């Protein structure tokens, strides 16, 4: 059988290791076509679980290693001791052309440092970004960077705009994605130099999306644009603030339903609808931080992910590979670099 | 009668002008003691409304002007043409010692520029910050800066920590408020230089709160700390992201209840509890951006505020005056400047 998507899995990453990663891979396999997994991890732990999933076993190869990266280690220390670890071997499989993409729920910093070092950036891309998809009032929003680059100059922000726009186009199927720059106001004179300079570039160059302008924090969930571009510091704070508010809302709702017998009865009657709503915003459905801009697909699954969440992350990696995301990015970046306006403004 | 709090009101600011500001002042008066209002605005518009509130009329003085600052004007242009406007006259009343504080729902940028120019910063304070209070899982959180200063050096962040801590202590009555610096992780080596430098200072100096360490976006609503300190760019994005997620959650909940007759019945039964919850997180209860660090109290009410929201903003101003916030800040800043660690690290 010819496989279209070969995904390397770091089976030892995350809080639960193979006990969630293997079932998640089996579920993802069932929902995709022509996919194969290279599974890196401790045979003694992985094999017994893998044996329970006949179909996955048919489309997977287990590569043994008893070494794993600790989630507590600093990225630099993790990197030094990474040889032969499940995370590193999974990344190397992508580099060696054995796999198209890698998924890990391990140490985020270590994964980023290792992926950058081993896979390298796509030609023309200065720095990779972490991107994720968010639910919005209308449609969905992809936001980047979520923490890989704390500060970003205008050129880097412009490249993120391209990465996000290509994602929205080829993976989400939006013909001309609207791209917005996250700022503190929508007027031209607002914001940092970097963001104003990026606005100037984006309004002049041709890229696979259409530049919408500045947007504000509330636009992320409003669905004003398809792609939100920001530096990694701001993006990370926005992401985690959103998570916090979501959690608080859920807590308030639970408290309200528990506050009286009548409210509890009300909950029981509306339970089906409330559960459907909860499912719609279930963070597990949105799990998977994409490291975009690397020479190979790399997706980070949240460390505390269960099998449902891990499945989402694996499916994201499969989707990126299936839609030829990286080839498309390379072509678009090449186009961008050739545009005189881009060169004159950025001064490459 | 001796008034303890004299508040200058820009009656012409905001989307609804005196039609919400006068009723809000009447409501705030009923909930406070020994308060007087100086009302600046167009007599023809204000008087007929004021006439409906006998008690307020007894404790208010109307100062006529038919000039008002437009909400659309750029701050610099607004400032040039500000002489004799209701906003400027209200601020000047504070400067002249006629009032202790000012509340306006007008043009935010213009209010900030004018307040800075006319009131000046408290001695030792480099820049004023915008602060607001947020609901949290445990207690409430005050966060600053929310947009007055897009970038902040370590010294400025340290001063914000003092402003926030004094607020939590004297207004919220928390004996030793926990202060956190907003960052992308809790490890020491994370984040911008500015935030790491501020952390170093705060862990060494004595100030009216206790330094907790770095916090992340989700800690804002978790209530990990009493005071969240950040630069104006990050704070503004976090604030608006939170607003957006709150709105999205509300929309999903409404949709869920409307999705079936059974869910609707469930809603009717739990309506009282749901409404109580909505009231608890009602953004109108949290309306009022405090411009902290100025020589005088200045509170910005949201432009679209109704009378309930405007009342909150007026009560915030009254509270700041009543608790002698500014005197206390001055004393604490003086203390801070005298500490050798502060001087050696910051290099003042």
Yes or no: say if A222 and A137 are a contact pair by the CB < 8 Å rule.
Answer: yes
> Coil, helix or strand for B235?
helix
User: Phi, psi at residue B311, to the nearest 5°?
Assistant: -60, -45
CB proximity A343 to B under 8 Å: no
- Distance between CA atoms of residues A132 and A146, nearest Å: 8
Of B245, B248, B269, the CB nearest to A266: B269
Q: Which tokens in the block code for residue B277? A: 């919850």
Give the number of residues written for chain B.
348
The label of the residue with tokens 């500014």 reads B326
Q: Tell me what pLDDT residue B343 has.
A: 67
Cβ–Cβ contacts within 10 Å for residue A5, how many? 20
Asked if pLDDT for residue B177 goes beyond 80, the answer is: yes
The DSSP 8-state label assigned to residue B171 in this structure reads I
Alpha-carbon separation of residue B133 from A66, B139, B140 (angstroms): 50, 10, 7
What band does A345 get if pLDDT is binned at 50, 70 and 90?
low
For residue B273, give the nearest of A243, A263, A277 by CB distance. A263
Chain B interface includes A77 (CB < 8 A):
no
**If you average pLDDT over residues B162-188, what whole number do you get?**
93
For residue B264, the Cα-to-chain-centroid distance in whole angstroms is: 38
What per-residue confidence (pLDDT) applies to B345?
61
- How far is B283 from chain A, CA to nearest CA, in Å? 13
Interface contact A180, partner B, CB < 8 A: no
Using an 8 Å Cβ cutoff, are B219 and B136 in contact?
no
Quick one: which of A239, A230, A208, A188 has its CA closest to A335? A208
> Which of A137, A244, A268 is opposite residue B218, by nearest beta carbon?
A244
Q: Give dist(CA A9, CA A297) in Å, integer.
A: 12
Distances (CA, A) of A67 to A76, A116, B296: 17, 21, 62
Measured CA to CA in angstroms, residue A103 lies from A65, A298, A320, B213 at distances of 17, 6, 12, 32
* A130, A194, A244, best to mutate vs chain B, most B CBs in 10 Å: A244
State the burial class of residue B20 (Cβ atoms within 10 Å of its Cβ: 0-12, 13-18, 19+). buried
Q: Do A150 and B191 touch (CB under 8 A)?
A: yes
**Mean pLDDT on A38-44:** 97
Q: Which residue has the tokens 């004799």?
A: B84
Q: What one-character-per-residue DSSP string does A165-201 give?
A: HHIIIIIT--SS-EEEEE-S-SSTT-S-HHHHHHHHH
State the DSSP code for A234: H
Cα maximum dimension of chain B: 68
Looking at residue B121, the DSSP 8-state letter turns out to be: B
Residue B191 is predicted with a pLDDT of 83
pLDDT-derived band of residue B302, with 50, 70 and 90 as boundaries?
Answer: very high
The verdict on A113 touching B (C-beta cutoff 8 Å) is no
pLDDT, tens digit (0-9, with 9 covering 90-100), for B116-146: 999 999 988 989 999 999 999 988 999 999 9
- Which residues on B lie below 8 Å from A182 (Cβ)? 237
Structural domains in chain A, CATH included, are 1-125+293-323 (3.40.718.10), 126-284 (3.40.718.10)
Span B153-178, average pLDDT: 95
Give the β-pairing of A129-135 and A140-144: antiparallel
- pLDDT exceeds 50 at position B239: yes
Q: How far apart are CA B169 and CA B172, in angstroms?
A: 6
Q: Is B290 helix (H, G, I), strand (E, B) or coil?
A: strand
State the DSSP code for A9.
E
3-state DSSP call for residue A309? helix
Distance CA B124, CA B295 (A): 11
Q: Which residues of B touch A263 (CB under 8 A)?
A: 269-270, 272-274
- Taken in order B53, B57, B59, B63, is the CA torsion positive or negative? positive
How large is the greatest C-alpha to C-alpha distance in chain A, in angstroms? 68
- Closest listed residue to residue A281, CA positions, set B224, B237, B255, B219: B255
Cβ pair B235, B217 in contact under 8 A: no
The pLDDT value given to residue B113: 94
Q: Is the peptide bond before B260 cis (omega within 30 degrees of 0)?
A: no
What are the chain B neighbours of A267 within 8 Å (beta carbons)?
266, 270
Tell me which chain A residue has its CA closest to the CA of residue B239: A217
Chain B environment of A151 (Cβ under 8 Å): 192
Q: State whether A272 and B252 contact (CB < 8 Å).
A: no
Instruction: Please name which of A306, A310, A309, A293 lies closest in space to residue A37, comparing C-alpha atoms.
Output: A310
Return the structure tokens found at A264. Answer: 């509890």
Residue A191 has pLDDT above 70, yes or no: yes
Preferred mutation among A148, A149, A277, A303 to probe B, highest tally of B CBs within 10 A? A277
Is residue A276 over pLDDT 90? Answer: no
- DSSP letter at B122 equals P
* Residues 6 or more apart whose Cβ sits within 8 Å of residue A80: none
Asked if B220 and A238 come within 8 Å (Cβ–Cβ), the reply is no
CB atoms within 10 A of CB A126: 16
Question: Is the pLDDT assigned to residue A347 strictly greater than 60?
Answer: no
Helix (H, G, I), strand (E, B) or coil at A283: helix
For residue A101, report the phi and psi dihedrals to the nearest 5 degrees: -155, 165
Residue B347 has pLDDT above 60, yes or no: no
Identity of the residue in B150, B191, B241 whose CB atom sits nearest the CB atom of A218: B241
What is the distance between the alpha carbons of residues B313 and B300, in angstroms, rounded to a whole number? Answer: 7
pLDDT, tens only, B244-286: 999 998 899 899 999 899 999 998 998 898 888 888 888 888 8
b/e for B108-118, b at 16 or more Cβ within 10 A? Answer: bbbbbbbbbeb
Selection from A257, A284, A285, A260 nearest residue A271 by Cα: A257
pLDDT given for residue A348 in this prediction: 43
The answer, yes or no, to whether residue B348 has pLDDT greater than 50, is: no
Structure-token pair, residue B241: 């992201």
CA A113 to the chain's CA centroid: 16
Nearest-CA neighbor of A291 among A174, A145, A172, A100? A145
Q: How many CB atoms lie within 10 A of CB B132?
A: 19
Residue in B108, B277, B278, B285 to test binding to A, most A beta-carbons within 10 Å: B277
What proportions of chain B, in percent to the nearest 5, are helix, strand and coil?
50, 15, 35
CA–CA dist B319, B32 (Å, integer): 9
Q: Which of A217, A201, A171 is nearest to A322 (CA)?
A: A171
What are the Cα distances from residue A229, in Å, to A214, A326, B112, B234? 10, 19, 28, 14
Nearest CA in chain A to B190: A150
Report whether A235 contacts A145 (CB < 8 A): yes
Q: Give A-chain residues touching B231 at CB under 8 angstroms.
A: none
Could you tell me if B209 lies within 8 Å of chain A, comparing CB atoms?
no
Overall average pLDDT of the B77-88 stretch: 94
Question: Which pLDDT belongs to residue B335?
Answer: 84
b (16+ CB within 10 A) / e for B188-212: eebbbebbbbbbebbeebebbbebb
């Amino acid at each position: 059988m010819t496989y279209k998507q070969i995904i390397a899995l770091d089976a030892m990453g995350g809080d639960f290791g193979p006990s969630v990663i293997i079932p998640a891979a089996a579920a993802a396999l069932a929902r995709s076509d022509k996919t194969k997994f290279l599974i890196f991890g401790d045979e003694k732990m992985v094999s017994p679980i893998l044996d329970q999933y006949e179909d996955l076993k048919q489309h997977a190869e287990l590569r043994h290693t008893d070494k794993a990266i600790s989630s507590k280690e600093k990225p630099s220390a993790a990197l030094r001791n990474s040889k032969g670890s499940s995370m590193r071997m999974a990344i190397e499989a992508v580099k060696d052309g054995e796999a198209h993409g890698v998924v890990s729920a391990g140490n985020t910093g270590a994964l980023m440092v290792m992926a950058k070092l081993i896979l390298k950036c796509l030609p023309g891309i200065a720095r990779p970004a972490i991107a994720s998809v968010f639910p919005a009032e209308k449609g969905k929003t992809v936001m980047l960077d979520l923490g890989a680059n704390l500060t970003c100059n205008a050129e880097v922000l412009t490249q993120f705009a391209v990465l996000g726009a290509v994602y929205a186009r080829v993976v989400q199927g939006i013909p001309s994605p609207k791209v917005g720059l996250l700022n503190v106001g929508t007027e031209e004179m607002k914001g940092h130099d970097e963001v104003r300079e990026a606005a100037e570039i984006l309004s002049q160059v041709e890229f696979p999306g259409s530049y919408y302008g500045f947007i504000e924090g509330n636009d992320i969930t409003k669905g004003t644009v398809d792609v939100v571009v920001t530096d990694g510091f701001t993006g990370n704070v926005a992401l985690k603030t959103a998570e916090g508010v979501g959690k608080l809302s859920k807590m308030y709702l639970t408290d309200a339903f528990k506050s009286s017998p009548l409210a509890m009865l009300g909950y029981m009657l509306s339970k089906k609808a409330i559960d459907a709503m909860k499912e719609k915003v279930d963070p597990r459905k949105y799990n998977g931080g994409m490291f975009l801009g690397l020479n190979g697909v790399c997706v980070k699954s949240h460390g505390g992910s269960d099998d449902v969440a891990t499945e989402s992350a694996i499916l994201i990696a499969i989707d990126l590979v299936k839609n030829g995301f990286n080839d498309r990015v390379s072509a678009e970046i090449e186009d961008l670099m050739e545009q005189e306006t881009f060169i004159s403004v950025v001064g490459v």
